[in-house]
Amino acid sequence: MRLVILWIGLGLARLGLIDRERAVRTADLAWPRIVTGLARMSKSAVDVAMVGIAVGEAAIAGVGFATPFWGLAFTIGGGVAGGTIALVSQRYGAEQFDELGLAIRSSVLLVLVISLPVTAFFATFSTELVSVITTKPEPLALGASYLAVVAFGVPFAGLNLIGSRTFVGMDDAWTPMVIRAGGAISNIAFSAIFIFVADLGVAGAALGTVLANVVVSGAFATLLVRGSFPGVPDMVVTIDPFGSYVDAEIIRSLVTIGTPVFFRNLVWTVAEIPLLSIVDMFGTDTSSAYVITRRIWGLMNTPGWGFSLAASSLVGQALGTGAEDTAEQYGREIVRYSVAVYAVSAAIVFIFAEPIVRAFVDEAGSPVIPIAVSLVYAACVAILLRGIVGSAEGALNAAGDTRWPFYGQFLGMFGGAIPLAYLGATTRLGLYGLFLAFVAETAIPAAVTYYRFTTGRWRAISRTYRPATAATDD
C-alpha cells in the first residue's frame, strides 16, 4: 500500500503538482490509516456478506437499517477526536509534551460522559428505533436484534477514535494501523465463530463487533499508559492515567472544536435514517443492493481516512510552529494527492463491480445483483469528490475551523441527496434518483469545504487554539 500511494505521489511531484518532500511525508502518514480503513471497512463488508449467506437478504437490509444508530458511536467519538487531534498535533509540533496527557484524559472523559447514556438508550429501544426506518417484519426484527447487542460497543468505538487521533497527531500513523487493523481482523474471526459456529445470526455479528472494539481499547490504553505493546514501537511520551481529567480550558477547546465536527458527522447519521426509509420504498431488493453498495463505498472511501488525518496532523504541526504558509501548502497539495488516489480506487472498483457485488449475494440469479452493480457505477463517479472533502476537512480541523464542513455536509444531505432519492422513489426518475443522490452527497460538501479553505480564514482561527509560544511566519 505504501508503495502504491507513494508512487502516485511521486508521479504528481514529477508533474509539478505537489512538492516531493511533502508528498513523502503525506504518504508516510496516510498509507497506514488507509490500511486501517480497508481493514475496518472490509470487516463491515464481510459482516454483511456473512449474515447474507447465513440468514438471507433480509438480514443484509436489517443490518443496514441498524447501521445509522451504530454510526452514532463514530459521530460522538469523531466529534471529540476532532478536538483531540487539533490540540495534540499543535502541542506536539510546539514540543509542549506536558500538555498532551491532559488533552487525552479530557477527551476520554468527554467521550464516556456522552456515549454511556446512548448505549443504554439503544439497548433498551432497539426495536422502536429501527421501526423508524422500516416496518417490514423480518428486516425490522433482524435490525433490532443487531442494534440491541452492538449498542454496548458504542463507548469503546469512541475511545478507539481518541486513541487513533492521538497517535496520528504525534506523527505516528503506524501504531493505530497495527492496533485497529488487528482489531478488524479479530472482529471478522469473532463474527464468523458467532454466526456460523454458535448460530447467533445477526446478533453474532454484533457481538463480534463489540468484543473487537473492547480489544482495541485495551491495546490503546496499555500503550498510552505503559509505553509499550507487542508489535508497535515504544512510546517516548507516556500518559499518567491518574492525572487530572478536567481542565476548563482544554474541555472548552475540545467542545468548541469538536461540536461542529460532531454535528457534521451527525448530519450523515441522522440523514441516513430518512434516506434508508426512502430506499425501503423501492423494496427489499433495492434496499439490500443499496446496503451492499454502501459497504463497497466504504472501501472506496478509505483513502479519505488517510489523507484527512495526514492533513490534520501536518497542517496542525505547521500551525503549531507558526508556519502558516507551509500549512496552507500542505493543505492544497494533499487535496490534489487525495483526488488522484481516489481516481485509481474508483477505476478499479468500476472495472470489477459485478464480481465484487456477487461476493455479497449467495444466489446467482438474485435481482439484487444488477441493481447493486448499477448503484456501484454511480458511486464510483461520486466518490472522486470525496478526495476534496476529506482533505480540506482535515486541514480545517487542524486549525479548529470546523463549522463550514458541517454546513457542506448538511446541504449535501438535506438539500441534495435526500430530495433526489425521494424523487426517485415517487416519480419515474426511479433508480436515477439514487444515482444523483450519490453525486449530490459529495459535490455540495466538496464545493463548500474547499471554498472555505481557499479563503484563508482558518489561519486566524487557528491562532486562538495554538500553544502560547507559537509565532506566525507572516
**Model pLDDT for residues 429-466, shown as the tens digit of each residue:** 999 999 999 999 999 999 999 999 999 898 888 888 76
Quote the pLDDT of residue 190: 92
CA 412 – CA 389 distance, rounded (Å): 11
User: What confidence tier does 362 reach under pLDDT thresholds 50, 70, 90?
Assistant: low
Q: Decide: residue 69, CB within 10 A, 0-12 exposed, 13-18 middle, 19+ buried.
A: buried
Set of cell numbers at residue 159: 475511545
Q: Judge contact between 394 and 386, C-beta under 8 A.
A: no
Residue showing cell 514501537:
233
Q: Judge contact between 111 and 77, C-beta under 8 A.
A: yes
43 compared with 178, residue with greater pLDDT: 178
CA 363 – CA 405 distance, rounded (Å): 41
Residue 469 lies in a domain: no
Distant-in-sequence, close-in-space partners of 148: CB < 8 Å, separation ≥ 6? 122, 123, 126, 203, 206
Mean pLDDT of 47-67: 81
CA 337 – CA 397 distance, rounded (Å): 18
Residue 28 lies in a domain: yes
User: What confidence tier does 468 reach under pLDDT thresholds 50, 70, 90?
Assistant: low
Residue type, 49: A
Q: What is the pLDDT of residues 220-256, one digit of tens each?
A: 998 888 887 777 777 767 778 887 788 788 888 888 8
Residue 409 lies in a domain: yes
- DSSP 8-class letter at 227: S
Residue 311 lies in a domain: yes
Quote the pLDDT of residue 361: 78
Residues spanned by the domain of 305: 2-462
Residue 118 has pLDDT above 80, yes or no: yes
Q: Judge contact between 278 and 106, C-beta under 8 A.
A: no
Residue 333 lies in a domain: yes
Distant-in-sequence, close-in-space partners of 460: CB < 8 Å, separation ≥ 6? none
Give me the number of domains the chain comprises: 1
User: What confidence tier does 336 reach under pLDDT thresholds 50, 70, 90?
Assistant: very high
Residue showing cell 472533502:
389
Residue showing cell 455536509:
409
3-state secondary structure of 232: strand
Quote the pLDDT of residue 91: 74
154-169 and 302-320 helices cross at what angle (nearest 10)? Answer: 50
CA 417 – CA 441 distance, rounded (Å): 5
Residue 94 has pLDDT above 70, yes or no: no
* Of 93-97, 123-127, 136-140, 189-193, the least confident: 93-97
Residue 46 lies in a domain: yes
Phi, psi (deg, nearest 5) at residue 18: -145, 160
Residue 474 lies in a domain: no
Residue 335 has pLDDT above 60, yes or no: yes
Residue 473 lies in a domain: no
Report pTM.
0.73
3-state secondary structure of 267: helix
